[in-house]
Structures are given as structure tokens and as C-alpha cells.
Amino acid sequence: MPRDGLNTSLRETLMGLARCRRTITYRDLAIVANVPSPCAIHSITVALEQMIREDAAAGRPLLAALVVSRSQPGLPGKGFFQLISELGLYDGPDHGTAAIEYHQEEVEMACAYWGEGDCLL
């Protein structure tokens, strides 16, 4: 799938999840968005990083916050926190109370901003 098509597909999928106030793992997102293996998780990560940059530049809540890791249940991967730190959006660790609180707030803002409409899942 071309990168622009993947970005559009992921954004649409995540907007649907925002309407339902739900998160999804990277693996499940790869399945739902029909991202072919191998390298499905890497492809998704690259697309999500671009989405974070776009949302941050536009001053929007981070839709990519709805994607969480299986290894850090309920939190995005460490790369999420590294990127938002580089962008000046967060100044803290990639785990623990500060990360959990920041992430919960970002998910709430993303659901409020991106989640208009009925939950169709």
C-alpha cells in the first residue's frame, strides 16, 4: 500500500476508534488496516510518526495516541514518547505515572476532537 494510502487508511480507522473512545494495539491496527507483513508494524510506526508530526504542526490532539503497545499495556511504544519529546510536546519518561497521565489526557483530547459522530464498531 502506498504511504499516502496507508496514512489515510490509518487516520480513518483511528477516527472511527475515537468515536468509540477506544484504543488499539499496533498489531491489531495492522490487521484492521490490512497492512501486509512482513514489516507491517514498522510501516504503521512510520505512518503514525508522520501523523504525529502533522497533528502537532496543526495544533491538533494526537490521533496516534489511540495506538498502544502490548509490551506496555495501555501506553504507546517508547518511540511515541521519544518523538513527542523531540517535538516539545512532552518532557518526561516513557513509562510510569507521568507517561500514563499524559497519555490518558492525550487520548481524551483526541477522542473529543476526532470523535464526532456515532460509534460504528
Residue-wise pLDDT tens digits, 47-65: 999 999 999 999 999 999 9
Q: Is the pLDDT of residue 83 over 60?
A: yes
- What b/e string do you get for 78-109 counting C-beta neighbours within 10 Å, with b at 16 or more? eebbebbeeeeebeeebeeeebeebbeebbee
Q: What is the average per-residue pLDDT within 95-112? A: 96
- Distance in angstroms (rounded) separating the CA atoms of residues 73 and 25: 9
- Cell 496507508, located at residue: 6
Residue 45 CA, distance from chain mean position: 9
What's residue 1's pLDDT?
Answer: 46
Question: Which three-class secondary structure state does DSSP give residue 40?
Answer: helix
What's residue 4's pLDDT?
Answer: 63
**73: confidence class by pLDDT, cuts 50, 70, 90:** confident
The whole model's pTM is what? 0.91
Strand partners, 68: 25
